[in-house]
Structure 1
Amino acid sequence: MKEPMKGNGGFWDALKGGGISPRIASMLGAPSAQQIAFVRSLTKGQRRPETLHVPLSQLKTAVFDLETTGFHYHYGDEILSFGAVKMNGEEMTGEVYYSLCKPACSVPERIVELTGITQEMAQNAPALLQALREFMAFVDDRVLIAHGSAHDKAFLDVALWKTTKAHLGHRVLDTMMIAQKLAPDRKVSSLDDWLRVYEIPILQRHHALEDAKMTSSLWQAMIGQLRERGVITLGDLYHFLSKT
């Protein structure tokens, strides 16, 4: 994504320099400036090399899902809701996050039917920066996991750039990619398909938190299968996924 031009002494230059001047903060309002700085701080230093040596059975992760107004962020589609579940290895900690998010665009009728999120619900939801701040604070420095992660990662990265001029720095694992590598003969890709393969009950679909919960069950089941293949650490998993 091409970065917009920045002026000398401007807001984004102040952020890039690692701080926000009192003058800039007063222009925007301290709470907003503080939120932006906080979110930026959470996008840095998330790819520590030592994480590669952590066993998957001990890896701290946050399984997440987003609902969006459509599939094309470059044509103006935006995030409608965030859902996330914390896991320590194969254990679900019971800590969850969910929030609606107010988009700048309208909610298409097909998305209302799919997600149950109406235009009124969206308009009364928290602003993108607030929901994003809460989501990033929740996931902290954990490895992120999503099913079909390209969609969610792209929307999350665009939202971060739009609000804070930062990029997502977290490692992101894709349960769809891992499942396909574990069972290459199965020509399926959707979350529904893989939930059926692993005999995980399909509950409420197209709800960010419920999808994140079901994806966490999928990840939980795959850790054992990966262990049987000799895939013990996060580094082993990257190596496993890279093999042709």
Structure 2
Amino acid sequence: MKEPKGVGRMWNLYKMGGFTPAIASMLGSQNAQQMAFIRSVNREQRKQSILNTPLRELEVVIFDLETTGFYPSNGDEIISFGAVVMRGVEVYEQESFYSLVNPKRRIPRAIVELTGITNEMVQDAPDLMQVLHDFMEFIGKRLLIAHASGHDKQFLNAALWRTSKINLNHRVLDTMLVAKWLDPKRASYALDDLLDDACIPITERHHALEDSIMTAKLWQHYLNRILERNITTLGDLYAYLSKH
């Protein structure tokens, strides 16, 4: 069978110039540059080991995503990114990231009611490639932290694969896992319950940036407890978490 004309041209460009020129011919130069940047950030992360970094000096990005549903494999899409920086036990709310994303599909009524994000709000929002580029630029090489991170990781990985054919190399620490280690007999590890028990004010739930800031304050609370146990590096923390 004769291969499609575009595929053959892309393969010839790849042989002559490499990955980026080939992609540029298919996607256009701006998307190709964004893809190349996303791939480079991810590649640089693989070279770095942060396990020996003291927890008091560790720079992290706490993040959250809002999505149209639960399953990227069924066509659900990211509709907003939120993130905030922490250094050691300090939360830097002024160093934050927030963006809506045009999912290029209708947002279900239940999600509109849950998040407050309407179809009209995302109509003129940037597309996934642009926001993913900006998000990867924001996080750089830092450790990622999220609550119940499985949902966010699967959507982030799906987005990275669809736009740039890569999987996430960044470590992602889950505050739910930390909570289960510190308080193994709790009845609930839902974010609202953990925030309430830690006396952290609940502001606007299911808003990606607000959830990120609240999760950052929860990590701050847990980090102080962790340091009290003389656990001083990220590697030490992972060693303890692996036993539970």
TM-score between the two structures when normalised by the length of structure 1: 0.90
Q: Pairwise mapping of residues 215-234 of structure 1 onto structure 2 (< 5 A)?
A: 215-234=215-234
Aligned residue number for residue 192 of structure 1:
192
CA contact (8 A) 2:103 2:122 kept: yes
String of CA shifts for 1:82-106, please: whole Å, max 9, x gaps.
Answer: 0000111111232000000011321
Aligned residue number for residue 132 of structure 1:
132
Aligned residue number for residue 107 of structure 2:
107
**In structure 2, what is the Cα distance between the partners aligned to 1:26 and 1:50?**
35
Pairs aligned (count) = 235
**In structure 2, what is the Cα distance between the partners aligned to 1:198 and 1:9?**
58
Aligned residue number for residue 46 of structure 1:
45
Name stretches of at least 5 consecutive residues in structure 2 with no aligned partner: 1-6
**In structure 2, what is the Cα distance between the partners aligned to 1:170 and 1:14?**
28
How far is the alpha carbon of 1:9 from its aligned partner?
A: 7.0
String of CA shifts for 1:67-92, please: whole Å, max 9, x gaps.
Answer: 00011111111100000001111112
Aligned residue number for residue 4 of structure 2:
none
**Rg larger in structure:** 2
In structure 2, do the counterparts of structure 1 residues 14 and 205 end up closer, same or farther at CA, with 3 Å as the change threshold? farther
CA RMSD, Structure 1 to Structure 2 (Å): 2.0
User: What is the percentage of aligned positions where both structures have the same residue?
Assistant: 53
**In structure 1, what is the Cα distance between the partners aligned to 2:183 and 2:161?**
36
CA contact (8 A) 2:66 2:80 kept: yes
Task: Specify the code of the residue in structure 1 equivalent to 2:222.
Answer: M
How far is the alpha carbon of 1:230 from its aligned partner?
A: 2.5
Aligned residue number for residue 30 of structure 2:
31
SS at 2:60 equivalent:
strand
How far is the alpha carbon of 1:211 from its aligned partner?
A: 0.2
Task: Specify the code of the residue in structure 1 equivalent to 2:208.
Answer: A
Q: Pairwise mapping of residues 145-156 of structure 1 onto structure 2 (< 5 A)?
A: 145-156=145-156
SS at 1:121 equivalent:
helix
After the TM superposition, which parts of structure 1 deviate over 6 Å for at least 4 consecutive aligned residues?
A: none
Aligned residue number for residue 74 of structure 1:
73
Task: Specify the code of the residue in structure 1 equivalent to 2:232.
Answer: I
Name stretches of at least 5 consecutive residues in structure 1 with no aligned partner: 1-6
**In structure 2, what is the Cα distance between the partners aligned to 1:111 and 1:25?**
35
SS at 1:170 equivalent:
coil
Q: Does 1:91 align with 2:76?
A: no
**In structure 2, what is the Cα distance between the partners aligned to 1:37 and 1:150?**
26
**In structure 1, what is the Cα distance between the partners aligned to 2:155 and 2:34?**
19
CA contact (8 A) 1:82 1:208 kept: yes
Task: Specify the code of the residue in structure 1 equivalent to 2:203.
Answer: L
TM-score between the two structures when normalised by the length of structure 2: 0.90
Deviates more, 1:28-37 or 1:154-163: 28-37
Aligned residue number for residue 180 of structure 2:
180
CA contact (8 A) 2:55 2:88 kept: yes
CA contact (8 A) 2:10 2:25 kept: no
**In structure 1, what is the Cα distance between the partners aligned to 2:23 and 2:183?**
53
CA contact (8 A) 2:58 2:87 kept: yes
How far is the alpha carbon of 1:57 from its aligned partner?
A: 1.0
How far is the alpha carbon of 1:176 from its aligned partner?
A: 0.8
Aligned residue number for residue 116 of structure 1:
116
SS at 2:98 equivalent:
strand
